[in-house]
Amino acid sequence: MASSAIPLLFIFLSLLPFLPLFAASNVTLGSSLSTTDDNPSWVSPSGDFAFGFRQLNNTNTFLLAIWYAQIPDQTIVWHANTTSPVQTGSNIKLTANGLTLTDRNGLTIWTAQPNTTINFGAMLDTGNSVLSGNSTGVYVWQSFDYPTDTILPTQILPLGGMLYSKLSKTNYTKGRFELHLMNNGSLQLNPVAWPTEYLYNFYYSSGTANSNSSLSGFQLVFSQSADIYILLRNGLTVQLWPDIFPNSNNYYRATLEFDGVFREYACATNSSGNQSWSVVGYIPENICLDLFNAFVGSGACGYNSYCTANGAATSCQCPPGFSLIDPNNEYGGCGPDFPPDCGVDNGTSNAEDLYDMTQVPNVNFPSGDYDILGPYNESQCGQACLQDCNCAVATFNGTFCWKKRLPMSNGRVDTALLLRALQHSVARRDFSEVFLEASEKIKKYHTQHNLANFLFGIPRPDWYQRVQVALGIARGLVYLHEECSTPIIHCDIKPQNILIDELFIPRISDFGLAKSLAFNQTRTHTGIRGTRGYVAPEWFRNVPVTVKVDVYSFGVMLLEIICCRKSVAQEFEDEERAILTDWAYDCLREGTLDALVDGDATAMSDIKTLQRWVMIAIWCIQENPLQRPTMSMVTKMLEGYVEVPIPI
Ligand SMILES: *[C@@H]1O[C@H](CO)[C@@H](O)[C@H](O)[C@H]1NC(C)=O
Ligand SMILES: *[C@@H]1O[C@H](CO)[C@@H](O)[C@H](O)[C@H]1NC(C)=O
Ligand SMILES: *[C@@H]1O[C@H](CO)[C@@H](O)[C@H](O)[C@H]1NC(C)=O
Ligand SMILES: *[C@@H]1O[C@H](CO)[C@@H](O)[C@H](O)[C@H]1NC(C)=O
Ligand SMILES: *[C@@H]1O[C@H](CO)[C@@H](O)[C@H](O)[C@H]1NC(C)=O
Ligand SMILES: *[C@@H]1O[C@H](CO)[C@@H](O)[C@H](O)[C@H]1NC(C)=O
Ligand SMILES: *[C@@H]1O[C@H](CO)[C@@H](O)[C@H](O)[C@H]1NC(C)=O
Ligand SMILES: *[C@@H]1O[C@H](CO)[C@@H](O)[C@H](O)[C@H]1NC(C)=O
Ligand SMILES: *[C@@H]1O[C@H](CO)[C@@H](O)[C@H](O)[C@H]1NC(C)=O
Ligand SMILES: *[C@@H]1O[C@H](CO)[C@@H](O)[C@H](O)[C@H]1NC(C)=O
Ligand SMILES: *[C@@H]1O[C@H](CO)[C@@H](O)[C@H](O)[C@H]1NC(C)=O
Ligand SMILES: *[C@@H]1O[C@H](CO)[C@@H](O)[C@H](O)[C@H]1NC(C)=O
């Protein structure tokens, strides 16, 4: 950390806010702004900053705010701390008493009314909005004294001062982090036990609290030259990050972001530069790691989510089998895609039928163990978790196995951690354990979507996803028919009985009608089974059935996969199209396959496969079971290893 003495004169100057060092456009008593005005703002003389109403995106609500008026994203740097955004029809008025914000019914919802008579107000070029008193001209109220999440050059945070983050990128509600210049002189970042106001222990401290008071912190200063430092009582300074080289063509701001990182940004003031904000300094060094050291809550990303710190940027991700609780809030944590606790596992199913263990490389959820087992090997560790319905995650260190239950907390990518640990003394907390936890296995429920929802939903699934699903089902049937110790005829192959997970891996389900064949048996007499539209014709002829009934059903379903439509569809007016199997045969013969896939561009770009697959489907639905290929032959043809003859 760089330290340097600053001129004593500056300290005295900074103690009292004096009249404009910067040009001001006066706002006269009696002036007012309404949300219904065309441009409800008071602009600073340079045009850099505006004070007034800002409409929130996609809503009819407004913030009373200060923002950069000349850059494309009009970044907000301050807002009035009303309990919620204000409605259309609200009004802000300057009187001798100060500023009064009223709603459309005239009820007061916010005031800036210092205990003295006001002479005029002004929006200064520094971004400070001020009210001036009637005599000495001292500012009796200024927005710089009531910062929200941002400070600007020339702004000072005194002892006891604080910043608080927004809840999310777009939600200005008070969020989950606070920055405090504590009375003992230390600058701290603390997580908040949102939605309460309780502060957890700090995750960053400047270390400038000192019993020798001349060495203790006194102010957080954002200098005119864009340096941010803690001013000690003896006049020395402690910078939060290395000197930046200020450019007079830049705006600078420092914001405690909703992700818990306090960042300084720069942005070009004129449109010939890059007019977006780039980070020039930040604390803490690694929010994913530092936040965990501080407290027992969820971590930087919320529960069941894991955090990656990549320099100044952080991001949050859900592990496999989990998704964002609020799809619009990356930092709001993840929930499981499956029922909680032991709800699905009532002892009637094998755990293996319900769950997989998925390895998530380089991810660590360091807390929340409830059981430790060992010595174990890796597969015993996985099994121990799989068979325990409380267990969501297992961590394995080569000898011992830790079980964790939901919710998981403080998840983060481990590589960042390794880097960090190498850069610092390991004297820090238990890195040794962390080093060993190279990855975690996360229990993952087979999400129960079936092929019908996938195929007949909107938008239609991608051609290559459909190809992948069809191949998966074909291989599954090869297994049932030809690789099981006793062959199984499923008897009810249809999209409703094919489950697919988020990786588009299909599983054949519902064996309620299945028939297993005895050793050497190839055919069986049985009453009619299956679902109309998919059943093979021999079912109606009172003859023994074979695995070829499944081949028939697969053929019908293959056409549905190709076309994304049901085999029998009432909605088609012309009868030609109503029965998919007949129509497909016509389209193939007439060379109008584009009609069959409804012009699907991806499928048409793969026209050779499309044509071959339609031919295979037609072979599968041959009237005579002997003319239908076996499933292993179907698979080889689908994969393109075997030529497909033109069907009869
Ligand atoms: C602002 O108003 C005050 C008081 O009326 C006056 O003294 C000052 O000159 C005005 N400043 C500007 C820039 O108009
Ligand atoms: C807004 O800030 C003022 C001054 O710090 C405080 O007195 C007031 O309670 C705050 N209002 C809300 C709604 O937080
Ligand atoms: C107004 O100022 C006086 C003197 O400084 C103080 O005693 C009084 O409490 C203040 N009133 C309010 C409402 O702040
Ligand atoms: C200035 O304000 C004070 C109260 O703060 C009031 O007593 C005094 O009369 C005011 N003076 C003028 C000239 O308005
Ligand atoms: C509002 O929408 C604009 C344009 O879509 C976008 O650039 C801006 O970032 C949005 N602002 C917020 C606060 O979401
Ligand atoms: C912001 O978040 C709060 C708390 O979750 C919620 O009540 C409010 O509706 C949100 N506001 C917007 C504009 O989304
Ligand atoms: C400074 O005060 C804060 C809050 O009271 C406390 O958490 C912190 O430990 C103190 N720092 C020192 C060095 O005493
Ligand atoms: C406090 O710090 C100052 C400056 O470093 C030093 O001169 C003084 O001796 C210290 N006082 C005590 C009591 O340690
Ligand atoms: C605009 O900004 C660029 C880069 O920041 C600088 O080189 C250029 O001189 C500026 N132009 C004016 C007119 O200020
Ligand atoms: C056990 O769970 C399965 C699958 O969730 C369910 O079908 C079955 O009815 C449950 N049995 C009992 C006894 O709750
Ligand atoms: C794994 O953890 C256990 C318990 O903390 C420890 O005794 C053992 O040495 C660790 N194994 C290795 C390979 O470090
Ligand atoms: C199985 O069938 C083969 C040929 O069809 C026959 O030679 C063999 O004896 C049969 N085995 C049994 C156990 O029926």
Q: What is the 3-state secondary structure (H, E, C) of 99-119?
A: EEEECCCCCEEEEECCCCCEE
Q: Does the C-beta of 354 come closer than 6 Å to ligand 10?
A: no
Q: Which ligand is nearest to the CA of 328?
A: 6
User: Sorting pLDDT into bands at 50, 70 and 90, what band is 347?
Assistant: low
Site to substitute for ligand 7 among 178, 184, 204, 213, most atoms within 8 A of C-beta: 184
DSSP summary character for residue 545: B
For residue 519, what are the CA distances in angstroms to 426, 476, 482, 511, 529? 64, 20, 12, 19, 22
H-assigned helices in 339-430: 351-354, 378-386, 414-423
Whole-number Å distance, alpha carbon 523 to ligand 12 midpoint, is 14
pLDDT of residue 559: 97
Given a cut of 80, whether residue 202 has pLDDT beyond it is: yes
Q: Does the C-beta of 344 come closer than 6 Å to ligand 10?
A: yes
Tell me which residue has tokens 């030609």.
576
DSSP summary character for residue 564: T
Whole-number Å distance, alpha carbon 55 to ligand 2 midpoint, is 22
What's the whole-number mean pLDDT along residues 102-128? 94
Site to substitute for ligand 11 among 378, 399, 402, most atoms within 8 A of C-beta: 399
What's the whole-number mean pLDDT along residues 316-341? 82
Give the DSSP letter string of 115-167.
SS-EEEEEEETTS-EEEEESSS--EEEEGGGS-SSEE-TT-EEETT-EEEEES
Given a cut of 50, whether residue 231 has pLDDT beyond it is: yes
pLDDT of residue 158: 97
Given a cut of 80, whether residue 91 has pLDDT beyond it is: yes
Take atom 1 of ligand 4 and give the residue whose Cα is closest: 134
What are residue 379's phi and psi, to 5 degrees? -75, -35
Instruction: Enumerate residues lining ligand 9, CB below 6 A.
Output: 249, 268, 270, 272-273
> Which of 310-314, 438-442, 505-509, 545-549 is predicted least confidently?
438-442
For residue 317, what are the CA distances in angstroms to 261, 287, 305, 324, 490? 18, 15, 6, 8, 39
Whole-number Å distance, alpha carbon 38 to ligand 1 midpoint, is 26
- Say how far apart CA 584 and CA 131 lie, in whole Å: 78
pLDDT of residue 348: 56
% of the chain with per-residue pLDDT over 90: 44
What's the whole-number mean pLDDT along residues 23-32? 83
Tell me which residue has tokens 């006001």.
118
pLDDT of residue 295: 58
- Say how far apart CA 567 and CA 232 lie, in whole Å: 79
Take atom 14 of ligand 4 and give the residue whose Cα is closest: 134
The 10s digit of each residue's pLDDT in 395-410 is 777 788 888 888 888 8
The 10s digit of each residue's pLDDT in 601-622 is 999 999 999 999 999 999 999 9
What's the whole-number mean pLDDT along residues 572-589? 85
Quick one: tokens of 466?
């459909």
Given a cut of 50, whether residue 2 has pLDDT beyond it is: no
Given a cut of 80, whether residue 355 has pLDDT beyond it is: no
- Say how far apart CA 130 and CA 161 lie, in whole Å: 18
Given a cut of 60, whether residue 167 has pLDDT beyond it is: yes
Site to substitute for ligand 5 among 56, 57, 62, 77, most atoms within 8 A of C-beta: 57
The larger pLDDT score, comparing residue 575 to residue 324, is at: 324
User: Sorting pLDDT into bands at 50, 70 and 90, what band is 470?
Assistant: very high
Residues 411 and 363 sit within 8 Å (Cβ to Cβ): yes
What's the whole-number mean pLDDT along residues 586-614? 92
Q: Does residue 326 have an active-site annotation?
A: no
Take atom 9 of ligand 6 and give the residue whose Cα is closest: 171
Summary mean pLDDT of the chain: 83
Given a cut of 90, whether residue 222 has pLDDT beyond it is: yes
> Which of 91-95, 118-122, 348-352, 413-417 is predicted least confidently?
413-417
User: Sorting pLDDT into bands at 50, 70 and 90, what band is 430?
Assistant: very low
User: Sorting pLDDT into bands at 50, 70 and 90, what band is 10?
Assistant: very low
Q: Does the C-beta of 520 come closer than 6 Å to ligand 12?
A: yes
Helices 631-639 & 548-563 angle (0-180, nearest 10)? 30
pLDDT of residue 360: 73
Reduced to 3 states, what is the DSSP secondary structure of residue 177? Answer: strand
Quick one: tokens of 39?
């441009």
- Say how far apart CA 257 and CA 254 lie, in whole Å: 9
The larger pLDDT score, comparing residue 26 to residue 128, is at: 128
Angle at CA of residue 571, ends 570 and 572, nearest 5°: 95
Whole-number Å distance, alpha carbon 519 to ligand 12 midpoint, is 9
Reduced to 3 states, what is the DSSP secondary structure of residue 357? Answer: strand
For residue 340, what are the CA distances in angstroms to 291, 299, 352, 398? 27, 21, 17, 29
pLDDT of residue 403: 85
Q: Does the C-beta of 293 come closer than 6 Å to ligand 4?
A: no
pLDDT of residue 280: 93
- Say how far apart CA 30 and CA 633 lie, in whole Å: 87
Given a cut of 80, whether residue 462 has pLDDT beyond it is: yes
Given a cut of 90, whether residue 122 has pLDDT beyond it is: yes
User: Sorting pLDDT into bands at 50, 70 and 90, what band is 24?
Assistant: low
Q: Which range, 100-114, 212-226, 496-510, is most confident?
A: 100-114
Given a cut of 80, whether residue 229 has pLDDT beyond it is: yes
Given a cut of 50, whether residue 16 has pLDDT beyond it is: no
pLDDT of residue 436: 35
Q: Does the C-beta of 81 come closer than 6 Å to ligand 2?
A: yes
What's the whole-number mean pLDDT along residues 31-42? 94
pLDDT of residue 132: 92
Element (H, E) at 595: helix 593-596
Given a cut of 60, whether residue 297 has pLDDT beyond it is: yes
pLDDT of residue 394: 80
Take atom 4 of ligand 11 and give the residue whose Cα is closest: 400
Q: Choose, from 492, 501, 550, 600, the residue flagged as catalytic.
A: 492
- Say how far apart CA 342 and CA 334 lie, in whole Å: 19
What's the whole-number mean pLDDT along residues 177-182? 97
Q: Does the C-beta of 117 come closer than 6 Å to ligand 6?
A: no
Given a cut of 60, whether residue 9 has pLDDT beyond it is: no
Q: Does the C-beta of 47 come closer than 6 Å to ligand 11?
A: no
The larger pLDDT score, comparing residue 253 to residue 526, is at: 253
DSSP β-bridge partners for residue 307: 316, 412
Q: Does the C-beta of 425 come closer than 6 Å to ligand 12?
A: no
Residues 135 and 120 sit within 8 Å (Cβ to Cβ): no
Given a cut of 90, whether residue 504 has pLDDT beyond it is: no
Give the per-residue SS3 of 295-341: CCCCCCCCCCCEEEEECCEEEEECCCCEEECCCCCCCCCEEECCCCC
C-alpha R_g of the chain: 34
Atom in ligand 10 nearest the alpha carbon of residue 346: 1
Q: Which range, 52-56, 319-323, 362-366, 466-470, is most confident?
A: 52-56
Whole-number Å distance, alpha carbon 67 to ligand 6 midpoint, is 21
Given a cut of 60, whether residue 419 has pLDDT beyond it is: no
For residue 81, what are the CA distances in angstroms to 37, 146, 174, 421? 22, 9, 9, 40
Whole-number Å distance, alpha carbon 609 to ligand 1 midpoint, is 79
% of the chain with per-residue pLDDT over 70: 84
- Say how far apart CA 648 and CA 628 lie, in whole Å: 11
Instruction: Enumerate residues lining ligand 5, CB below 6 A.
Output: 57, 73, 170
User: Sorting pLDDT into bands at 50, 70 and 90, what band is 468?
Assistant: confident
The larger pLDDT score, comparing residue 196 to residue 296, is at: 196
Quick one: tokens of 575?
């009868």
pTM beyond 0.75: no
Atom in ligand 12 nearest the alpha carbon of residue 520: 1
347 CB burial (10 A radius; 0-12, 13-18, 19+) = exposed
Instruction: Choose among 263, 187, 264, 186: nearest CA to 225.
Output: 264
Q: Does the C-beta of 167 come closer than 6 Å to ligand 6?
A: yes
